[in-house]
Chains A and B, each alone.
Chain A
Amino acid sequence: MIRRWSYVGLTAVLAIAVAIWAIPDLRERGWFAYAPDGGPSLTPPLPTLSPDLFLYPTSAQIVLLAVGIGLLVQIYSTAYLGHHPRYRSYALIIVLFLVAMIAVVGTTNLWTLLVGWEVMGVCSYLLIGHEWETAEARAGAAKAFLITRVADLGLVLAIIVIGETYGTYDLLGAAPFAGEGHHSTAIGLLVLVAVVGKSAQFPLHSWLPDAMPGPTPITALIHAATMVAAGVYLAARLFPFYADSTVVLTAMAVVAAITMLMGAVLALVQVDLKRALAWSTVSQLAFMVAAIAAGDPEAGTDHLISHGVFKALLFLGCGCLMHAVGSSALSAMGGLRRPMPVTFWTMTIGLAALAGVVPTVGFFTKDSVLHAIQHATAGDDGLAAGTAWALLAVALLTSLVTAAYATRLWLRAFFGAAAEGQDVHEAPHAMTGPLVVLAVATFALSIGQPFHLGMGVVSTLVAAAGVGIVVLAHRDGSALDWSPAPLAAELGLDRPFSRWIPAVVAPVSRLVVDLDRDAVDVYPRSSAGAAGLGSRALELVQSRNAQRYATIVAAGIVVLVVVGVVLT
């Protein structure tokens, strides 16, 4: 027990250090206000990996969110996973994960950012595959790693283009000159590729739901504090570099619109609580991307923080339910509000925040996002007015579906008849404690959030409609299980990957195998053959026959004498 808490202590030390570092930077709410600092040189310096730590108020908020949720996850894990034989490596990888996130958020050096970015990819691979005894966990981990790795190429290329364009790899040096039309479309599209992979946007979204075999606290960490947050953070951080490119913003808006609606609809039809929450994350991340596309990255990062808090709450609560009933399937749950009051009330708050109910923080940040999109419908800069209107319509529709699936999950898990033969107890304090903290934060973070009356009323009405539809359906006795075939198969969006990629990769890899066998292996094989021949020749000498040895010695002496005579 003491040993387990020592990892919590390690995380707490990290969190305190980050807090001491970051809290002074919170002074003012503000976007990444870059101050010009000399002119850009024309040739980029060599890539370096200096830490170059520097925090803007927004990055300070995100870094505090990351370590805060990391600490809560560590505390939660002592009870949830403390008896696992690999708990030690698990807890340490979480710390590494947090350090990588701090590197991504806190540095101004793009190459250091890339290193942190990749370390996060590795950590998520290791943690999703923590239960590697099961085939699903291995497959999910490999899928997450491969998809995010492919998308990371976008970031590498974006960094190179930024370096070549602005003559520096340092954001403080480059950003003041951003937005002067320097390759902004190229940079923006490359950044978008990286963000689409890391933050699980269409069409590279499918790794996130498939990462569900990972331990639930890890899911909370990845969904709330680290992995997917990094993608949105990057998009917001590099926003000045592509802000003037309509192409990029339109592409982002399209990606976000597809992803948010798809994620929400798929969350509505899931039969597994954890997977439904995963699709919900996909959808909510698309909200943040939409805000950035609408030209208000600050609204995006605000929603990132609020979503981080309530989604961590929901996943940790989901872990409590799984701990109690032994499964994440909704069919195994039901009627859990009485035996698990703490989980019930905290998850109710979390789901309310997800649905966007006043006065949770989810309402205010969603309101900011919708307001930002509405602001973009003027078509002044960035998005064309038509695109923005379409995005606004999709976002409102998504709000409706979001409220509907949040209500559905709430009703399915906590109301109705309990599954039979279960003896359910509330989770231990180490697990419910973080829930309470996060539930309080869900309200506390609302303080000082901007509020837009018109959009607030509209979004509240939309959310109420979503809730109302589901509640009415529930009253009428519906089991709230809708899964038409294409939705149950999650639209078959993995099929292109599983069909086309092998179609390309298989011939190429076969060619590589052939080359390896017939071209590269010639050298080792011929050297092996030469060694074989040589040894067979030497074997003739090693006859175990004393007379033959003596003959060789005699012949050698004769040769030496003859040579000596001839040479002298």
Chain B
Amino acid sequence: MSLLYPLVLSSALFGIGLYGVLARRNAVLMLLGVELMLNAVNLNLVAFDAWFADQLHTGQVLTLFTITLAAAEIGLGLAIVLALFRAVRTVDVDEVGR
């Protein structure tokens, strides 16, 4: 399989995630954008792992680490958003910043 397809897909995912982080005002959706970017990276890792045909599959192993990290990160991020919501009754980052 050509390397091109997963790379195009991951670029699209990364771009959507970046757009979410930069343009969205809702803190939860910004976190989702971060998740999308992480998963785009994961996809890259897996695709290159397959392309290199690495015996130790380091790319896939690293992907597992990243998924774990993403889970921890989203847990922490949502906790912050929840605390934020409790404090100011909104999750709109512009409102919060004001």
Contacts and interface: CB of A to CB of B under 8 A. Distances in A.
A134 interface: no
B18 interface: yes
Of the listed residues A544, A547, A551, the one surrounded by the most CB atoms of chain B closer than 10 A to its CB is A547
A547 B27 CA distance: 11
Of the listed residues B21, B22, B23, B94, the one surrounded by the most CB atoms of chain A closer than 10 A to its CB is B22
A547 B18 contact: no
A544 B21 contact: no
Q: Is the interface of B mostly helix, strand, loop or mixed?
A: helix
Given A545-B97, A547-B23, 8 more contacts: A544-B97, A546-B93, A546-B97, A547-B21, A547-B22, A547-B93, A550-B21, A554-B18
Interface of B: 18, 21-23, 93-94, 97
14 contacts: A544-B97, A545-B94, A545-B97, A546-B93, A546-B97, A547-B21, A547-B22, A547-B23, A547-B93, A550-B21, A550-B22, A551-B22, A554-B18, A554-B22
Nearest to B93: A547
Contacts of A544: 97
Contacts of B23: 547
Interface in A503-560: 544-547, 550-551, 554
B64 to A, nearest CB: 28
Interface in A394-453: none
10 nearest A-B pairs in the assembled complex, by CB-CB distance: A551-B22, A547-B22, A550-B22, A554-B18, A554-B22, A550-B21, A547-B93, A545-B97, A544-B97, A547-B23
Nearest to B18: A554
A440 B3 CA distance: 121
A139 B97 CA distance: 64
Contacts of B22: 547, 550-551, 554
Contacts of A547: 21-23, 93
A453 B6 CA distance: 133
A541 to B, nearest CB: 15
B62 to A, nearest CB: 23
Contacts of B18: 554
Contacts of B97: 544-546
A544 B94 CA distance: 10
A551 B93 CA distance: 15
A546 B23 CA distance: 11
Contacts of A551: 22
A554 B23 CA distance: 12
Contacts of A546: 93, 97
A550 B93 CA distance: 14
Contacts of A550: 21-22
Nearest to A544: B97
A544 B96 CA distance: 12
Nearest to A549: B22
B17 to A, nearest CB: 11
